[in-house]
Amino acid sequence: MDKKRIRNFSIIAHIDHGKSTLADRILEMTKTVEKREMQEQLLDSMDIERERGITIKLNSVQLEYKAKDGETYTFHLIDTPGHVDFSYEVSRSLAACEGAILVVDATQGVEAQTLANVYLALDNDLEIIPVINKMDLPSADVDRTKEEIENTIGLETSDAPLISAKTGLNVEDVLEAIVAKIPYPQDADDEAPLRALIFDSYYDKYLGVVMSIRIKQGTIKVGDKIRLMAAGVEHEVTEVGVKTPKILKTEKLEAGEVGWIAASIKTIKDINVGDTITNALNPAKEPLPGYKKMKPMVYCGIYPMDTNKYQDFKEALEKIELSDSSLVYEPETSQALGFGFRCGFLGLLHMEVIQERLEREYNLALIATAPSVIYKVYLTDKTMIEIDNPAMMPDPQKVDHIEEPFVNVKIMTPKEYVGDLMNLCQQKLGVYKDLEYVDDQRMILIYDMPLAEIIFDFFNKLKSISKGYASFEYELIGYRESNLVKMDILLNGDMVDAFSMIVNKQFAYHRGAALTKKLKELIPRQNFEVPIQAAIGNKILARETIKAYRKDVIWKLHAADISRKKKLFEKQKEGKKRMKEIGSVEVPQEAFIAVLKLD
């Protein structure tokens, strides 16, 4: 293949600015997908992605474009997610490209994640093509959007395509700009020793592990013996191909191309996204630069409702890890919930998505404990321990002080919401840093804030205060000392480790009262009275009581009313399935989720 006719690119944008819609139009206009096969947001293949309307996993597709210069070009389009939690996926796809299309919604302008994604693209030395989208909407403001792109990003916008991804208006200009501006793979030499970057992988029942790869140098074909350079293992290639987006088998993949390979690999642990594949008989000297591994920011314990499902749960985690290497987990036991895993995530949305995927794709009923960040606990004996699980907090007598992770938060907002957003940041214990103008309408608010306060419902509050207009991004800046305590919940006098949380002392009373009240609503009556208490050490902060139900409730039914009685039993049985027996008390699954949603 003539390398000069290859273009590898990603589409980057702030969430909802129209990446997936643009990708759909491109597939349609290049006739990669026939119109009748066209399903909206074709690249979003996970059910959760379609339902939530967001892209989570990157996806790649090969397409052919006949340009105005009369030549046919091969494009590899790699879709990326827009949400702040998934920037890891973005940097992975960018590492496989030479260029990026930056989609900016003309009704919204530049937003926090637009900037964050641009920085990732610049880190990877990509050519960035700004594209202004949603031109069909009356509120589209081209001048302001261009000005924002030039002021905040410094990209030239005079010939930026003005498009509507929805109607297809001017989308052809984007295709032409890709041909004209994005460089072809320069150092792609088919004869050089093989070096291919694994940028994604998933497990297929028949093929084993399927890896998405970008060939930087060399050629790969069926029958080749390959070596994964970091893992140090060797396998024989059984299939290679491209996605169009259908899975298409080919004979080989050459330098500059993006595609997939399978090598009957069943040991999932061997595959690390970011690893380099080389030929075992003619190996490359150096692997490609991998990308830096993201550190999880949020941890929680996840347990199967049914303890017999532990093994299934473990296998499901291994498979999900394959396609999402930012997920980390290790076995953990809880007195209340039995055997499970402590899992680490990049953020709260990431956590929700993984949980949902586990439940849906692997048919598991799960319970998650309250999320936690990693705390540094300095002990009186001058040692320090890191804990990501409140239950592991040492005896307060032994603790000298505790540090928690702080982040620098940048909130981009129309200026009328600045006052209310500053209040929100204050409530969240934010430390004011700066306020900058983007243009005469919009501002950037900058705060330092405990990460833990961001994972507790910050996003939802920000969106509701700003009617959806504000956006934010954050970056870890280090650890700072805070006045933190561990708060426990006691059910019928027994501490439930799964409910324990580390909170700022200022919030302890409020959260304790709110949580006991919530649990009282959610835990059904038992045949004895159940006190619910929130406590710090021996000190009780709040208490609620669930009254006992009257045992004879069923027998009061009319004796002839057997079917009704049966129904009642059935209902109780159904309810039981989603209940977890904790000590002597039955707790419904919702109770565990309630901890997360607490104010």
Q: Give CA torsion, residues 228, 331, 360, 294, to 10 deg.
A: -50
> Which residue's CB comes closest to ligand GTP?
82
The residues in 65-104 that bind ligand GTP, with binding defined as CB under 6 A, are 81-82
133 appears as a binding residue in the annotation: yes
17 appears as a binding residue in the annotation: yes
Smaller CB distance to ligand GTP: residue 166 or 376? 166
Chain-centroid distance of CA 290 in Å reads 20
Instruction: Give the Cα separation of 82 and 93 in Å (integer).
Output: 12
Number of residues that bind ligand GTP (CB under 6 A): 20
Instruction: Give the Cα separation of 92 and 199 in Å (integer).
Output: 6
Indicate which single residue of 28, 127, 136, 176 sits in contact with ligand GTP (rule: CB under 6 A).
Answer: 136
| Helix, strand, coil fractions of the chain, as percent rounded to 5 | 30, 35, 35
Smaller CB distance to ligand GTP: residue 132 or 228? 132
Map residue 89 onto helix, strand or coil.
helix
Do the Cβ atoms of 511 and 456 come closer than 8 Å? no
Q: Angle, to 10 degrees, between the axis of helix 589-597 and the axis of helix 505-522?
A: 150
Smaller CB distance to ligand GTP: residue 173 or 494? 173
14 appears as a binding residue in the annotation: no
Instruction: Give the Cα separation of 64 and 30 in Å (integer).
Output: 6
The residues in 44-63 that bind ligand GTP, with binding defined as CB under 6 A, are 53-55
Smaller CB distance to ligand GTP: residue 92 or 580? 92
Interaction mask 6-45, ligand GTP, x per CB under 6 A: -------x-xxxxxxx------------------------
Residues with Cβ within 8 Å of 105's Cβ and at least 6 positions away in sequence, in order, are 13, 14, 16, 17, 18, 133, 134, 145
Interaction mask 153-192, ligand GTP, x per CB under 6 A: -----------xxx--------------------------
Stretch of 128-136, 200-208, 299-307, 316-324 lying at the interface with ligand GTP (CB under 6 A): 128-136
Smaller CB distance to ligand GTP: residue 200 or 488? 200
Do the Cβ atoms of 99 and 128 come closer than 8 Å? yes
Shortest approach of ligand GTP to residue 80 CB, angstroms? 8
Exposed/middle/buried for residue 509 (C-beta within 10 Å: 0-12, 13-18, 19+) = middle
Shortest approach of ligand GTP to residue 197 CB, angstroms? 23
Residues with Cβ within 8 Å of 340's Cβ and at least 6 positions away in sequence, in order, are 301, 302, 303, 304, 310, 313, 331, 332, 333, 334, 367
584 appears as a binding residue in the annotation: no
Smaller CB distance to ligand GTP: residue 18 or 130? 18
Smaller CB distance to ligand GTP: residue 132 or 322? 132
Residues near ligand GTP (CB under 6 A) are 13, 15-21, 53-55, 81-82, 133-134, 136-137, 164-166
Which residues are part of a known binding site?
16-21, 133-136
Which residues are part of a known binding site for GTP?
16-21, 133-136
